[in-house]
Each structure stands twice: as C-alpha cells, then as structure tokens.
C-alpha cells in the first residue's frame, strides 16, 4: 500500500481534488521502520513500525491552515482537506505570505537501497551480535541500536508540483563499557545497510573502552584539542540551530547577522549543505517539493549564506534554496544535509600536531547556553585522553565544557580527511579537527 510512485500520486491527487482551498499542498511520508536495541550484551528492545502520514496545507488569500492525519480512507481524506481549509478561513491574514511554490525541475537523488528496505529482524540481530560477541569476549559491556528505515516521501500542490522519492537509511551506534569508568564509542550511517562494517565498528568501540580505563583528573582550563568527527558534527549541529536558517537572520537572532561576506572562521572551514552528495543521505527535494540546492554556508571561512524556504525567500526577495521543513514551524528552513569539507590529515597526524592537549571522542548532552554568542555546554564521553608530545597517553575523566563554537572554528590548524555521518536531530557529515583552544569548565563527579 502506497509503496510506489503511482499509488502515492493517485492518493495525493485525490486530496488535491477534494480540497476547496485556493491553493493546496499535500505532503506524504510513508515509513516502514525497524530498530534493534541492545544493552548489557543482549537484545532488550526490538521494534517495527508501519505508518503513513499525510499533511495538507490549505491557502485562502493570505490565510494558511494545516491539518494532518494517518487515516487514508476517502472519508478521512475529505475530512483532513476540509479541516485545513476551515483552519485557514478562521484565522487572520498573514500579510507576509506570498504563495505556495511553483514546480521546478528536480534532479533525482540516489538515496534508496533495496537491500536496506528488505533487511530482516534476523539480519539485524546477527549484525548486532558482532558487537556484543566482541565485547563479551573481552569482558566488556555493550549497548546500542541498529535501525533500518524505508521512507516513501512525496509532495504535490495545486500549482503543479509533484515530487516523489523512496529513501532508505541504516544506522548503528554502540557504547562499549569497561569497568573503572572506561568506555568507547562507534557510529555509522549509510543509505545501504550492507555498507556498515560491524567488525570495524566493534573494534573501534572495544579498543577505546579498554584504553580509557582508570581515567585521571586534570586541571580545568583552556587546552588545544583534537575533536574526533562525532564531536565536530555534534557541535556543527548546534551551530545550525543557532543561526543558519533564514528565519533566524530575518528575526535578527543569528550570529550571521552583519557578518555576511566577512571572514568569520578559519579559512580552512567550508561548511555546506547538499542534498545530493552521496556521502550523506541523499534527498532531492524539501517538504514543499522544491529541489534542494547546494548552499555554502561558510566558504573558506567567510560567512556566505543561510538556507531558505518559499516563505523566507519571498520575504527577502532571495532564491528559494529548497530547505523547507513541514509546515507550520517556527524554526523556519534548516540545512538538514550538511557537510564540513574534509582536510588531508589522518587522525594520528592531527594528534601529532598537539604538544599538550586533549583528545575528545564525542560530546554528551550538548545544549546552547547563548545562541548569538554560539556558546555551547556539554560533557565529553566515551574516550577523553591527554595528548602529550603528539601522542595519546592517559585517559581523562569526562569533562564539562562551556565554549563558543565560532571561537573553536576561528583557529583550526588542521582538518581530518576521513568523515563520519553523524545523526542526532540533524545529519551532519564531518571529519575530526585540531583546534587551538577549547575551554573545559568542569569534571565528572565521583
């Protein structure tokens, strides 16, 4: 049911036909998702979901209403179309609303894998077991999750847009824990589940867990750091929320305000969003059916651009970059497929470049302290080490940091060559970096 272009097109056209609004948009997201979760070296949660959501945006003049449902019988489709219209009619005009977007050519993205779509519960269990068995064999404790998801996404509107694409993703992450407060981490995400190398992932987490036993205290303060890819991507995810949306700029609450065209960070930093790059999870169009454009947000360290949807683009007279989220949302458009351009250093070379500093595997529970100052706090986790004379020496207890992200990016002596696709709320593909200064402000209690 609704697992091919023809059936989805028929469904969306039916809703457009039912709608009496001046303009109508229908967004469809069908999901077949499965997730196998493990902890204390066994599978403890194992779930599957089949869902089909339909969202209708109705426009009457400058009034907009949205209603959604996951009931797809004819009566429910008529009802959701009527409800969106009723909501639109009853509210005041939004003088800044212009129009739903018109159709533009869409270049297909390659974000689907038949293999991922067909992955079975038994296959997931066996893959997970690779990590569990290595942890068990070394006397360690493993925990994590492996998910495989198939999406059927489509957008149609009464101005002629119809866009459809099937997409898949497969993601696994794991924490491996030793006694004496040591732990290690691994995470990978691809369109094709077969690309996840579970042997390598298990080795990565187990090796770091064994090496991080008996961590020491250090004096708090500012250190040169090597931030591994997981930590860099987490930091960049927060930077996106802090101000890389046109809405944030238009509301004058972005760190980009007044900075366009200026050298904002280190010239080695190019940070961009690209729905078509194969290193990410390719996606051809946004939630308005507009083709996704590559946007260089930082280009060789210069504050270059933010991303737009139809509303923010019309408001400013700028091109729509195809970064709309489902309506309505106060966040505005967001870069959801972003990449930090790789450098050419290996991780070992990044570490060799630091005489006395800290290596951080990843962050935990990061949160904005002050968005305009890009001030972020959080903890280090799953492998924090002292760097002495260019080598990782002793493990360090988890540290709290309170640090401006832009200040970190202003002085980046080197960037790693290998990138990892990270997902939390957004997907970010990033390499490790060496940064000249990072402010550690607290340490884990006993």
Q: Per CB under 8 A, which of residues 128..167 are in contact with other proteins?
A: 128-129, 132, 141-145, 147
Q: Tokens 């190398």 belong to which residue?
A: 197
Positive or negative torsion for Cα 288, 50, 420, 442? positive
CB of 436 to other proteins, least distance (A): 15
Name which position in 3, 7, 20, 44 contacts other proteins (CB under 8 A).
Answer: 44
Q: Which residues contact 365 (CB under 8 A, 6 or more apart)?
A: 378, 379
Structure tokens at 337: 């497929």
CB 371 within 8 A of CB 242: yes
How would you label 241-265 residue by residue, b for 16+ Cβ within 10 Å and e otherwise? Answer: ebbbbbbbbbeeebbbeebeeeebb
Residues 247-276 that bind other proteins (CB under 8 A): 251-253, 255, 257-258
Residue 413 touching other proteins (CB under 8 A): no
- Quick one: 279 or 379, whose CB is closer to other proteins? 379
CB of 341 to other proteins, least distance (A): 26
Tell me the window of 110-118, 268-276, 333-341, 359-367 that interacts with other proteins (CB under 8 A): 359-367
At 267 the three-state DSSP class reads coil
Residues 414-443 that bind other proteins (CB under 8 A): 439, 441-443
Q: How many residues bind other proteins (CB under 8 A)?
A: 95
Q: Of the candidates 64, 62, 57, which has an alpha carbon nearest to the alpha carbon of residue 93?
A: 62
DSSP string covering 115-148: HHHT--HHHHHHHHHHHHHHHHHTT-EEEEEEEE
At 34 the three-state DSSP class reads strand
Residues 182-221 that bind other proteins (CB under 8 A): none
Q: How many CB atoms lie within 10 A of CB 118?
A: 12
Q: Tokens 């360090």 belong to which residue?
A: 396
- Quick one: 55 or 276, whose CB is closer to other proteins? 55
- Quick one: 200 or 369, whose CB is closer to other proteins? 369
Name which position in 10, 47, 195, 200 contacts other proteins (CB under 8 A).
Answer: 47
Residue 92 touching other proteins (CB under 8 A): yes
- Quick one: 42 or 110, whose CB is closer to other proteins? 42
Residue 48 touching other proteins (CB under 8 A): yes
Tell me the window of 126-134, 162-170, 294-302, 334-342 that interacts with other proteins (CB under 8 A): 126-134
CB of 130 to other proteins, least distance (A): 10
- Quick one: 96 or 348, whose CB is closer to other proteins? 96
Residue 368 touching other proteins (CB under 8 A): yes
Q: What's the CA gap between 231 and 350, in Å, rounded?
A: 15
Q: Tokens 């949302």 belong to which residue?
A: 329
Residue 369 touching other proteins (CB under 8 A): yes
Residue 366 touching other proteins (CB under 8 A): yes
Name which position in 9, 14, 37, 315 contacts other proteins (CB under 8 A).
Answer: 37
Q: Of the candidates 227, 229, 212, 150, which has an alpha carbon nearest to the alpha carbon of residue 395?
A: 212
Residue 293 touching other proteins (CB under 8 A): no
CA quadruple 399, 402, 403, 405: dihedral, nearest 10: 90
């Amino acid at each position: 049911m609704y697992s091919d272009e023809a059936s989805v097109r028929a469904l969306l056209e039916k809703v457009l036909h039912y709608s009496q609004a001046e303009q109508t948009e229908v967004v469809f997201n069908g999901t077949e998702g499965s997730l196998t979760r493990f902890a204390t070296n066994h599978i403890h949660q194992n779930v599957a979901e089949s869902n089909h959501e339909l969202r209708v945006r109705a426009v009457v003049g400058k009034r907009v209403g949205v209603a959604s449902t996951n009931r797809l019988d004819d009566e429910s489709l008529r009802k959701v179309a009527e409800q969106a219209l009723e909501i639109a009619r009853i509210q005041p005009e939004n003088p800044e609303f212009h129009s739903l977007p018109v159709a533009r050519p869409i270049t297909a993205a390659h974000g689907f894998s038949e293999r991922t779509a067909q992955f079975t519960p038994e296959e997931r269990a066996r893959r997970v077991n690779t990590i569990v068995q290595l942890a068990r064999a070394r006397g360690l404790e493993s925990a994590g999750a492996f998910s495989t998801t198939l999406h059927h996404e489509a957008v149609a509107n009464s101005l002629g847009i119809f866009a459809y694409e099937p997409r898949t993703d497969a993601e696994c992450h794991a924490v491996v824990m030793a006694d004496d407060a040591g732990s290690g981490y691994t995470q990978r995400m691809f369109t094709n589940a077969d690309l996840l190398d579970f042997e390598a992932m298990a080795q990565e987490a187990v090796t770091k867990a064994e090496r991080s036993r008996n961590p020491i205290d250090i004096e708090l303060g500012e250190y040169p750091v090597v931030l591994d890819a997981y930590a860099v991507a987490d930091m960049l995810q927060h930077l996106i929320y802090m101000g890389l949306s046109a809405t944030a700029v238009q509301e004058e609450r972005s760190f980009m305000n007044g900075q366009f065209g200026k050298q904002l960070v280190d010239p080695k930093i190019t940070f961009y969003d690209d729905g078509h790059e194969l290193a990410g999870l390719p996606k051809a169009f946004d939630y308005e059916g507009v083709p996704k454009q590559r946007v260089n947000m930082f280009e060789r360290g210069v504050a270059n651009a933010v991303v737009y949807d139809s509303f923010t683009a019309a408001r400013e007279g700028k091109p729509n970059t195809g970064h709309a989220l489902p309506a309505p949302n106060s966040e505005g458009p967001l870069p959801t497929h972003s990449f930090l351009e790789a450098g050419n250093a290996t991780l070992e070379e990044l570490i060799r470049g630091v005489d006395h500093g800290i290596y951080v595997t990843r962050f935990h529970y990061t949160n904005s302290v002050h968005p305009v100052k890009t001030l972020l706090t959080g903890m280090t986790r799953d492998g924090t080490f002292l760097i002495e004379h260019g080598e990782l020496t002793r493990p360090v207890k988890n540290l709290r940091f309170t640090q401006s992200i832009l200040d970190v990016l202003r002085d980046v002596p080197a960037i790693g060559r290998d990138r990892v696709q990270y997902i939390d709320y957004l997907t970010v593909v990033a390499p490790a970096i060496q940064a000249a200064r990072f402010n550690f402000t607290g340490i884990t209690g006993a």
